Amino acid sequence: MINIEDFAKTGELFDNHYKLLRPLSTDGGTADVWLALDANTVKDRSRLDEAPNLPDDQIEELGLIVAIKIYRPKNALDIEGEQRFRDEYMIVFNCNHTNLLHPTNYSIFEEIPYLVLPYCRQGSSEKLIGKLKKDCDIWKYIEDVASGLAYLHACTPPIVHQDIKPGNVLIDDIYNYAITDFGISSKKGGKHGFYFDDENSGTLAYMAPERFQEDIEPIPQSDIWAFGATLHELLTGNVPFGEEGGYAQVEKKVPMPEAPGISADIQRLIHACLAPDPNDRPTAQQLAVAARMKQFPVKSKKPLYITLSLLGMIIVGALAFFLGGTTGEVEEAPNIPVEDLYQIALKQMDCDNVDSLQTGMQLMDSLSNANYIPAIYQMAFTYGWYSDSASVNRKKLLGIEIDDLYMPKSDRPSNKAVALFTRIMELNDSSYADINANATYRLACYFVMPNNIYKPNYEKGKKFLLRSKEWAIKAGDDVLLERIEKGLASFQ
């Protein structure tokens, strides 16, 4: 039986492919995670032995850094464990969302299964336990994780993660939060036995009350409870009901915990997530909307007017640019209709200047976060797969490389665009039939047109095309309808 650590000591390539550098995590139930260098991306193989002694940024100059989740050798012959790894790869293979981090490859070496994942040098949100204090940072965390969960729960059938906790939320290079570790995730419909005494089916402190019952089908509401427990721990330093989680909440009547110093809206949100009855918990989508609105419960849609005080110098600077005056002329301006702010942001984004583009994007992103659908679409248009000169120029100014088909070469911009298009689809606002039609059509393109980022998924692509067709008919967009019909004809 091979010893994984020997590969790091001797420098021998794991599976003739990966240079193991150092362990990243060794406290998982069945696997260890290693930092590794993909030798196939290294031009100068003679420098491979230098890699373990170099800082991450210098290793990246040699080749691609990845994280490898390796099944522990003592379990190598465990068929159930091997299947668990295979399922983890397959269950999220076609899930593409900014707030999900899933394996990019699965293989078996010397009877040892392993998964290859993107490397997040910032680590997990475990390092934030007891340190997440500012409301704006808390809302950012809620929005990112809830958005990832909403995507999973909206799949057909829904994907239930089953192990949401601080350690399974990673922080990417631009400080977005992404859910990972789908080793025990389940597509709703499978039956499970006792969760309580299965070491591979979750972490007790984050397990909802219903998960301690027999023969309970995995449900999305259990992820919401775990998310509530995660939030409480990040804010206070302690899990809400001790190490026995939902069992202690119900069976031992442990009272609902408080988080001193936290705003009432965030406190209410956490308590709603931790409701003993699954039917009383909010959905992930409701949490994501609450985070964007920075209130819970969301009482009503905020008026489509945004004051200068809310967006501060972003709007002041944008107005000065737009009006051709000084910032002093607009500092005392009254509330400005969102449509006017949108036009200001759009004008700045379409200037041939990176500083203007970035200022416009900040304003557009603020409008997007307020669920103004045209703004969401413009952000997707910036990052997405378009041959339009305006989109291409924005990418050029932002340093986003595109291929011969005008698609970004990196998966990050594409994932951002897909997440934004998905958000438009989820908001389902009939006031913007034309945008809904175009957003769902663009989603379909990612899964039916050949590209280097997304694997073909014709079932998903057809579903998006049919939805796009409904919106295009409502919008009276005959040009788009013609393109949609051609796409649907290719499935026949």
pLDDT tens track for 250-286: 999 999 998 888 999 999 999 999 999 999 999 998 9
Q: What pLDDT sits at residue 401?
A: 92
Q: How confident is the model at residue 193 (pLDDT cuts 50, 70, 90)?
A: very low
pLDDT value of residue 148: 92
Overall average pLDDT of the 84-113 stretch:
80
| 231-262 residues labelled b (16+ CB within 10 A) or e (exposed) | bbbbbbeebbbeebbbbbbbeeebeebebeeb
Confidence of residue 331 (pLDDT cuts 50, 70, 90): very low
Question: What does the pLDDT average to over 122-149?
Answer: 93
> Is the pLDDT higher at 303 or at 27?
27
Give the confidence band of 185 by pLDDT, cuts at 50, 70, 90.
low
**d(Cα 161, Cα 385) in Å, to the nearest integer?**
29
Backbone angles phi, psi at 112, to 5 degrees: -110, 115
Most confident segment among 37-51, 124-138, 170-184, 330-344 = 124-138
Which phi and psi angles does 408 have, rounded to 5°?
Answer: -55, 135
Please, which pLDDT band fits residue 327 given cuts at 50, 70 and 90? very low
Q: What is the pLDDT of residue 184?
A: 66
Contact status, residue 152 vs residue 142, Cβ threshold 8 Å: no
**Rounded distance, CA 307 to CA 321, Å?**
17
Q: Nearest Cα to 381, choosing from 329, 353, 355, 345?
A: 345
Q: How far apart are CA 258 and CA 238, in angstroms?
A: 11
| Average per-residue pLDDT for the chain | 84
| Residue environment code for 37-50, b if the CB has 16+ CB neighbours within 10 A, otherwise e | bbbeebeeeeebee
125 pLDDT more than 90:
yes
Measure the CA–CA gap between 23 and 393, rounded to whole angstroms.
Answer: 41
Beta-sheet pairing, 169-171 with 112-118: unpaired
